[in-house]
Chains A and B, each alone.
Chain A
């Protein structure tokens, strides 16, 4: 079974609108972390936001927020007030356990923001 599932291969949104990118995860470890990365057309991987499994509140970083629903095992990324520069590939990833454990990535969602 896939540990990270991103069901939306592509999403379209108009500038200044909000958009939600879906991510569901599968783990039996009570301690885990969820991450979102952005990959623009230039290719680099940019860290956006992190949510720990024990965090009570949803993480926010500027226009990015993570809608964490533990019972549903979902960690959706919400981008408010989309900008043209938000057009990119977005990856959800999970770290299981504490310490140095590695990341498992989803296959990504391509977001296109139109004027």
Chain B
């Protein structure tokens, strides 16, 4: 029972490089989310997708793009990485129809931009 799977687990980029973080969930959830976690800041929402075919900006969307490829997959793209994007990135999914609309998280991707 995998839940939410993120790849890669670790990545080092040079400033200006691009990359895509992948996220897949096997819980048949409608909603998916991308967060970043910085020291002392808690988690902040980058983008979310309420359902397949929709995406919306969160609190800190600048410098990122997302794609909801299908119901299972939600990717986060950094087009031109900057040192300020060094962070731990978490993907989550939830089902609004269920009690609490609880979000379940992947293991995270640690990204360093040099």
| Contact between chains at A102 and B58 (CB < 8 Å) | yes
The answer, yes or no, to whether A68 is at the interface (CB within 8 Å) is no
Residue from B42, B45, B48, B88 in contact with A91 in the complex, judged by beta carbons closer than 8 Å: B42
Mask, B36-74, CB within 8 Å of A = 1, is 000011111100101100000010000000000000000
Tell me the count of chain A residues lying within 8 A, CB to CB, of chain B.
24
Interface string of B87-114 (1 = CB under 8 A from A): 0101010101001111111111010000
Beyond A43-B88, A100-B50, A102-B48, whether A95 also contacts B101 by CB under 8 A is yes
Q: Which residues of B contact A25 (CB under 8 A)?
A: none
CA distance A91 to B103 in the complex (A): 13
Q: Which residues of A contact B99 (CB under 8 A)?
A: 50, 52
15 example contacts (A-B, Cβ-Cβ < 8 A) are as follows A35-B100, A43-B107, A43-B108, A45-B92, A47-B104, A52-B100, A91-B43, A93-B43, A99-B50, A100-B31, A100-B101, A102-B33, A102-B58, A103-B45, A107-B42
Interface residues of B (CB under 8 A from A): 30-31, 33, 40-45, 48, 50-51, 58, 88, 90, 92, 94, 96, 99-108, 110
